[in-house]
Structure 1
Amino acid sequence: MASLFKSLSEDMEKIAQVVEEGTKIIFGTSTLNEDTSGQSADAGAFYNGDEDGFYEDGEEMQSPLMGMADSVISDIMSSQSIGPQTAMENIQAFSAAITWGEPFIRYLLAFHMVVIVTAYVLMRKDIYLRMGFMIFLGLIIRMAEQLNQLGNRRWRDFATQNYFDKNGIFMGIMICAPLLIICFIMLVSLIREAKNLLVDVKKMKIQAKENAKKKKADKRKKKD
C-alpha cells in the first residue's frame, strides 16, 4: 500500500511539473530550470518536465498544454463573426469590391445591354436567327474558364484591379449569369411558340375534319 501511495505521489508531482511548465510556456516566461545544487541549467537546454532531464540544443520542446491552447484559440477564432454572413451582406460586399466607374465595367454593362436588345429584337424574327444567337451566347459561357484565365493574366491592360480570381466568382456573376438568363428567356419564348404552333396545327386538323364532313354531307344531299 505504501508503494502505491508513493507511485501516486510521484505521478502527481510529474503532472504538476508539466502543468507548471505549460503555464510558463503560454505566458511567455522562461523555461530554464535550476538544478537541486542551486546552479542554473545550461542556456541551450530546456527542462522537459520529466525525470529524464533537459532537452539538448536544437531539440523541439513540446508540452501537452500547447496543443490545448492551440485548440482553444482555434475555437475562439472560428466562433468570431468574420466576413459577411447573410445573402444581402454578401451582395453588398461584392458590390463594394467593384469599381463601377472604370471603363471595363462600363463596357461590360454596355455589352449586356446590347445583348438584351438584340435578344428582344430576334424574338420577333426567324427561329434560325434566334437559335444562332443562343449558340453564340452558349459558346461565350462555355469559354468562361478560358476567358477567366486570360483576364487573370492580362487584367492590367484593361482594368484597375484583378477581378478574375481562380474561383471565377466575377466571371460567373457578371458575365455568365446574365447570358444564361437571356438564353433561358429565349428558350422559354421558343417553347411557348412551339406550343402555340402545336395548338394551331391541332385546330387546323380539327377544322379540316369538320370541312371534310360538311363536304360529304353536301354530296349526300345533292344525291338525294
Structure 2
Amino acid sequence: MDQVYQAMDEMKAAMNEHVDLVSDLLQRLSSELRSGFGPAVDNFVGFFHAIDWKEPWLIGLLAFHVLLLIVVILSRRKVNFQLSLSFLAFVGVYMAERINRFLGENWKSFSSQNYFDPNGLFISVLWSGPLLVITILIVVNTLITLCGLIVKWKRAELKHRARQARAKKD
C-alpha cells in the first residue's frame, strides 16, 4: 500500500511540475503578446534605414528579383520552364552562404559599406528571401495547374464511362 501512495505522490509531483512549466510558458507568451509587434517593427525599420538603397548593385539586385518575378508570372503556363526556374532559385539559395562569404571578402570593390556579416542576415533577407518567395509562387502555380489537369482527366474519364455505358445499352 505504501508503494501505491509513493507512486501517487510521485505522479502528483510530476503533474505539479508540468503545470508550473505550462503556466510559465503561458505567462511568457502572454507578456510577449502584450508587448505587441513593436520590437519586431523597430528592428525591421532599423535594418531598412541602415541600407543605402541608392547603391547601383542593390538597385540591380532588386531589379533582378522584379524581373524574375515578371518572368515567373508571364511563364505561368509553362510548367517545365518554371520547374527550371525554381531549380535555379533553389541553387541560388543553396549558394547564399558562399556568395555571402565571397561578397564579404570583396565588398570594397562594389559597395560603400560591408553588408555581408558572418551570420548572413543581409544575404538572407535580400537574396534568399525573395528567391524563396518566387519559388513558393511557382509551387502554388504548379499545384493549381495540377488541380486543373486532374479535373480535366476526371471529366474525360467520366465521359469515357458514359460512352461505354451507352455502347453497352445499344
Q: Does 1:170 align with 2:122?
A: yes
Number of residue equivalences: 133
Which structure features the higher share of helix residues?
2
- What SS does the aligned partner of 1:180 have? helix
- What SS does the aligned partner of 1:141 have? helix
C-alpha separation in 2, matches of 1:212 and 1:139:
49
Q: Does 1:148 align with 2:81?
A: no
Tell me which residue corresponds to 1:132.
84
What is the TM-score when the length of structure 2 is the normalising length?
Answer: 0.75
Pairing 1:1-224 to 2, within 5 Å after superposition? 86-125=39-78, 127-217=79-169, 219=170
C-alpha separation in 2, matches of 1:158 and 1:142:
23
Tell me which residue corresponds to 1:82.
none
C-alpha separation in 1, matches of 2:141 and 2:106:
38
| Residue-by-residue CA offset, 1:200-223 (whole Å, 9 max, x unaligned) | 111111111011111222x2xxxx
What is the TM-score when the length of structure 1 is the normalising length?
Answer: 0.58
State the superposition RMSD in angstroms.
1.1
- What SS does the aligned partner of 1:86 have? helix
C-alpha separation in 1, matches of 2:85 and 2:40:
33
C-alpha separation in 1, matches of 2:154 and 2:145:
14
Structure 1: where are the runs of 5+ without partners?
A: 1-84, 220-224
Shift of 1:129: 1.0
C-alpha separation in 2, matches of 1:118 and 1:130:
9
- Quote the sequence identity (%): 29
Point out which structure has higher relative CO (alpha carbons under 8 A, 6+ apart): 2
Larger radius of gyration: 1
